[in-house]
Structure 1
């Protein structure tokens, strides 16, 4: 389509039309934009423009505009030709673009046509290509699967032949190879296929069949003869070198195959390479441990070992080991016999050192090492444990001389351990026997401790309470002869020199001293163990004696006091230990029992207090029968009071008879005085609480008090004890007053009941009644004497307080 011609005039008009829309800088201002200055005014004060001036200005502007327009027209006319060419070329391009668009429309319609379009053709081709690729992939997977299953089948096809010929190792390798192949399927389809599952199950059954086959082969190879009830007990294990292969239990593809024989080394190699040797040979390990080594070690003096085997494995059919227990017919060398057993295991079972054409000795040596280290090490460690338990521990001596003789046993035990290490049964880290014999001092002290505690327990639990005088024991004691040689007991009431002890205490002290003296000849570790053993014996005594003999100690006063003496005696002898062992024992500068000694004394005082309290309760119950001494003038009441007082005296005499030969004098008088003091205080209190005492009743009460005076006889011999205790302060006083503080008051009370009022006041004025408080005297006088002016006067004097006591009456 040809472009339309453009005339210069039309083009000019077009340009002018466009230019007319553009404001020009020199155009005169629009009326709306022009501000006319008011007449007679100007910015500079000059006269305003006239109409002529404005017309002239407009004319000038028009001339300028016309000039500019002329110039524009000239420029436009000069470029008209180039613009025309460009405009025509634009129309040519438009025609070409329209042609291309038309071609594109034609191509799009041919592509998108639903029936014959190129797009539909391409899509159909792609679908067909995908279907073909999928079929090819399926075919490739099937081919890979067939190849995979073929490989598995080839491996499994050899299994039956290997099993029939007894080639368990090769059969096992077949199963292992098949299992590995099945575990790596070429694709997911093969992995999930029924054939794979079926083959996997078949491999599992074949593996189980190999396991059963191995069990049967081991059972056919190893024969056990267990002990019987015969006099000569025999235990035997036999190894058959030619082993019959059992029938294969799985379905067979060939009915012509028949089982054969395999040699022992082939079975051993199969067990080790299949990593089941420890499991399958565990019964052999158990038999050798429990039925051969254990009875051999426990009854070594009656045991004999016999080995039956050929010198050449190549020609041997079997080998055997026989243990015979015949009383008194053993070799007597336990370590040699144990070594014979392990040499038999190493040479005849593990085939160490054999070589021949049947197998490569270098390769088989690794199997021997595996069996020796895994299976043989377990047997060897258990054997060493049993040697320590049943032989070495029993061979530990119980005296110093035997400890020196133990050196030969230690040497033999170490030599056996060296041999087992050389054979490979043990490593350097397994030296239990050497560890035992090197610590023989500790084992010795442990045994001594056990013996000491066992013997001590027997002594403690014995019901024999035979006694012995301490002074008889001190006759032979050098420390007692030389009193400055050790720290003397300063508490006179705990001194047992003049007392009696049981043989139990002496035996326990002898055990402790002999053990300590023996500790002095041992090294530091052992000696400290023995020292601790003596402390354990003391602890055992403190814990067991009061529990095992609780009824005896509670119900028999003499034995309770004897137990008190025993504790004090043992404590005294323990205090002597540092002086007896001036150089101490190895590892200890001084042997002391600083905590055991106070514990023994505390235990002694506890049981003494228990016995004293028991006797006190019995005395108080006797006094209860007096009925608080009410109306003692009546015969029936007086009889009851008299029985009570006589019962008290009887108890005191019985205690004195039972305790005096046993207790030290000071302890005896103190304990007896404590009880009598409690009795006198109780009687004083009850008599002082009587509010009305007739003259007859007063005499009766005095008579009852006089019955208790028989208890004074128990203290007749206490004078020297009091004099020794008081020293320079001793004033030749009645010894009973030293041990029974309330006795003087009790005597005065008995006197008051019999004295006249005048005699009472005479004693008061002489300061002889200072034992009574003013209130006590007042109540007694009011109870005994009737209310008279004399009584009132004397009471007023008493209320003023006691006069100063005379020196010979002051206590």
Structure 2
């Protein structure tokens, strides 16, 4: 046998020795066999353990020995069987073991060869790994140099192409082929923008060529500016030339010298035709920028003065020759007062036809270029330049012509039809030429809404005229009853459905012409609205409301000082507001059929606002007069010590001042206010005065006989105010009806006057006369306490006074108490 693998000791195996080793192994493992006999010591234990708990006898030793012998016999039989099987497979096992040893030898040889190969590969000097790494480095260096060479070749080819493109630039520029020169720069710039590699992109040559292209682009841009300057000439008005504005287009355009250095110094500039310049501007996409001055000139210096001064503007256009044979063309505008054509729309259209034909060359064709291609250029120019010009022109026509042509009266709307037709026709022609689109129908939209424009114009005119009336300082008056003579509604008994308010009725009063004029404006505007369309009529109605709002807002502000300081004008303003409100209440009756577009024409919110404004200023004026009257009474000093001459004179001046104010108010208000309103206002003020005098006299604690007579005299001065109410009897009778008892009218309007009269009498009567009147119920105007205080102040303390005071304290006679109320 060979030596064992992995350093194992040599071992000889024979069948007998293998058998012995197996048996020895089996003998050593007897204790682990399932049927091994127990140890004698264990037998006793087993016997003791197997003793039955119910008292059965334990097994004997002979029985146990027989059992062990039986088990040993079986074990030996099993061992014999195992041994036989091992002997039967021994040959196969031996062959497998020998084959394993052969495989071990072969593996050892292969491992030795692998060690040799690894040694040859990893050798730091001559190993295969070092050789391969060196070869890879050399290959990488060679590839890098090849790539650099390829990049250089690509860059040279790239720069060569750019150079070839730029080399054509100078020739094209010198010959005036501006479009081809522009294409050269565009192509060169495009090529430079797409370098073949990053090295070319960052190279100094690329930057230099890019800068050169930029300078050449600037040169082309300057060339275009120079060409346009040589082609288009603007003439503005001077003192020596009557022509106001003139535009001249040169069709043969001299090419200016090239500013950049040229390789061919013998080249000389040539000339180009107008269409070549136009095409260059279009294809280089700079037409809108370069021709903007032309656009502005046509709008501001031709179309604007033509539209704004169309009656004085004369348009002259050169249409004598065709473009092919012409060296140029012109358009001029002269302002000659009174010599315009009078046909604004035809003149404007002639300007656009000139632009389309002579500038955009819409109908020109020549072998020099493809007419079909150039037609697309014309469309571009028409849209980007002509579209702006046309929109500006239509906007100016709407603002400066059509707006001014909007009629100011209803008859003028029929005459506007011809203007509307001409405006629409102009717009249609501009659309046909391509200057406008269907979305640009500004003129048609204007004329189709002429009713609305008319109403807006009417509104502006109405407010302008109304404002002039409102701000006028003229306060001439007119009697309302004179105006009602011609008013059919007033001739009918409340035929217009109003609810008569006797307190605010202005039939018998005066109003200012302002109010009459404003009402006439409102009514005429409403009647005119009835003949308009449903879209326009409500606008005129709203205009009248705006006029009312303007009146309410402006009148109290602009005339505030006058209305505050002049009582007559304040009352006149009150009447005006009430009159306007009354006339607005009549509107539904005047317009029984209404106006188109509105179910009902009414001023339900404006009428109360006018009446509120009227009452506000009336209250302001009444309060101002009340304060003046109270100040006069204040100067009387409470009527104390009136028996002293100096004190009496002061009181007398005070009362005379009160009377003077009443007479002045009576004179100022009587001719303006309606009678009932006049007496009510005057009675309100006199009632305040009389109550104030009564309170002041009742405050006096001790009144001598002389002072009593003086006070009565002072009260007598105030009786002069009664004259203001002498003519009020019929009004009182009408107001009280059957309850009228031929009473003094002043008592109806001045409730405290009767008490004031009684007070004056009490100051003069004897104690007996006072008591007689008391017992007759004639002093019922005084409360018992008031009357007692007066008697205590006038008469000395006596048993009679005490008795009479006790009688007064018991109250007024019962029979007369009802009469007192």
Tell whether the structures are fold-level matches, with TM greater than 0.5: yes
CA contact (8 A) 2:780 2:817 kept: no
Residue 229 of structure 1: how far off its partner (Å): 4.9
Residue 7 of structure 1: how far off its partner (Å): 2.5
Give the Cα–Cα distance (whole angstroms) in 2 for the partners of residues 457 and 583 of structure 1.
30
In structure 2, relative to structure 1, the CA distance for the partners of 1:501 and 1:809 (3 Å cut) is same
Does residue 204 (structure 1) correspond to residue 211 (structure 2)? The answer is: no
Moved more, 345-354 or 45-54: 45-54
Does residue 585 (structure 1) correspond to residue 592 (structure 2)? The answer is: no
Summarize deviations over 1:460-511 as a string: whole Å, max 9, x none: 1111111111222222222222223213452222111211111111111111
CA contact (8 A) 1:698 1:784 kept: yes
Residue 108 of structure 1: how far off its partner (Å): 1.0
Summarize deviations over 1:167-221 as a string: whole Å, max 9, x none: 2222222222222222222222222222222222222222222222222221111
Give the Cα–Cα distance (whole angstroms) in 2 for the partners of residues 452 and 40 of structure 1.
141
Moved more, 418-427 or 172-181: 172-181
Give the Cα–Cα distance (whole angstroms) in 2 for the partners of residues 297 and 63 of structure 1.
145
Match of 1:700 among 710, 714, 718: 710
Residue in 2 aligned with 1:128? 138
Residue 734 of structure 1: how far off its partner (Å): 0.7
In structure 2, relative to structure 1, the CA distance for the partners of 1:403 and 1:80 (3 Å cut) is closer
Residue in 1 aligned with 2:274? 264
Match of 1:663 among 649, 664, 673: 673
In structure 2, relative to structure 1, the CA distance for the partners of 1:698 and 1:419 (3 Å cut) is same
CA contact (8 A) 1:768 1:805 kept: no
In the TM superposition, 1:424-573 aligns within 5 A as 424-488=434-498, 490-573=500-583
Moved more, 111-120 or 162-171: 162-171
Identify unmatched segments of 5+ residues in structure 2: 4-10
Does residue 419 (structure 1) correspond to residue 419 (structure 2)? The answer is: no
CA contact (8 A) 2:515 2:580 kept: yes
Residue 282 of structure 1: how far off its partner (Å): 0.9
In structure 2, relative to structure 1, the CA distance for the partners of 1:785 and 1:32 (3 Å cut) is farther
Please give the secondary structure, in 2, of the residue aligned with 1:304: strand
CA contact (8 A) 1:766 1:805 kept: no
CA contact (8 A) 1:398 1:448 kept: yes
Give the Cα–Cα distance (whole angstroms) in 1 for the partners of residues 53 and 692 of structure 2.
149
Match of 1:403 among 379, 403, 413: 413
In structure 2, relative to structure 1, the CA distance for the partners of 1:92 and 1:491 (3 Å cut) is same
Residue 721 of structure 1: how far off its partner (Å): 1.1
Match of 1:168 among 159, 162, 178: 178
Summarize deviations over 1:297-319 as a string: whole Å, max 9, x none: 11111111111144321111101
Does residue 24 (structure 1) correspond to residue 33 (structure 2)? The answer is: yes
CA contact (8 A) 2:243 2:332 kept: no
In structure 2, relative to structure 1, the CA distance for the partners of 1:778 and 1:110 (3 Å cut) is same
Moved more, 336-345 or 208-217: 208-217
Summarize deviations over 1:284-340 as a string: whole Å, max 9, x none: 111111110111111111111111144321111101001111111111111110110
CA contact (8 A) 2:781 2:820 kept: no
Please give the secondary structure, in 2, of the residue aligned with 1:262: strand
Match of 2:300 among 274, 290, 294: 290
Give the Cα–Cα distance (whole angstroms) in 1 for the partners of residues 768 and 818 of structure 2.
22
Give the Cα–Cα distance (whole angstroms) in 2 for the partners of residues 763 and 573 of structure 1.
53
Identify unmatched segments of 5+ residues in structure 1: none
In the TM superposition, 1:93-104 aligns within 5 A as 93-104=103-114
Residue in 1 aligned with 2:244? 234
CA contact (8 A) 1:763 1:769 kept: yes
Give the Cα–Cα distance (whole angstroms) in 2 for the partners of residues 47 and 662 of structure 1.
160
In structure 2, relative to structure 1, the CA distance for the partners of 1:343 and 1:7 (3 Å cut) is same
CA contact (8 A) 1:309 1:318 kept: no
Residue in 1 aligned with 2:18? 11
Match of 2:340 among 313, 330, 343: 330
Residue 40 of structure 1: how far off its partner (Å): 12
Residue 36 of structure 1: how far off its partner (Å): 4.6
Aligned length: 811
TM-score (norm 1): 0.96
In structure 2, relative to structure 1, the CA distance for the partners of 1:177 and 1:804 (3 Å cut) is farther
Residue 348 of structure 1: how far off its partner (Å): 0.3
Moved more, 732-741 or 61-70: 61-70
CA contact (8 A) 1:723 1:730 kept: yes
Please give the secondary structure, in 1, of the residue aligned with 2:503: helix
Moved more, 29-38 or 777-786: 29-38
Give the Cα–Cα distance (whole angstroms) in 1 for the partners of residues 313 and 112 of structure 2.
120
Residue in 2 aligned with 1:2? 2
Residue 572 of structure 1: how far off its partner (Å): 1.5
Please give the secondary structure, in 1, of the residue aligned with 2:332: strand
In structure 2, relative to structure 1, the CA distance for the partners of 1:48 and 1:764 (3 Å cut) is closer
In structure 2, relative to structure 1, the CA distance for the partners of 1:121 and 1:801 (3 Å cut) is same
Give the Cα–Cα distance (whole angstroms) in 2 for the partners of residues 39 and 747 of structure 1.
155
Give the Cα–Cα distance (whole angstroms) in 2 for the partners of residues 88 and 629 of structure 1.
163
In structure 2, relative to structure 1, the CA distance for the partners of 1:142 and 1:30 (3 Å cut) is farther
Give the Cα–Cα distance (whole angstroms) in 1 for the partners of residues 60 and 609 of structure 2.
148
Please give the secondary structure, in 2, of the residue aligned with 1:199: helix
Residue in 1 aligned with 2:800? 790
TM-score (norm 2): 0.95
CA contact (8 A) 1:231 1:326 kept: no
Please give the secondary structure, in 1, of the residue aligned with 2:400: helix
In the TM superposition, 1:74-89 aligns within 5 A as 74-89=84-99
In structure 2, relative to structure 1, the CA distance for the partners of 1:12 and 1:783 (3 Å cut) is same
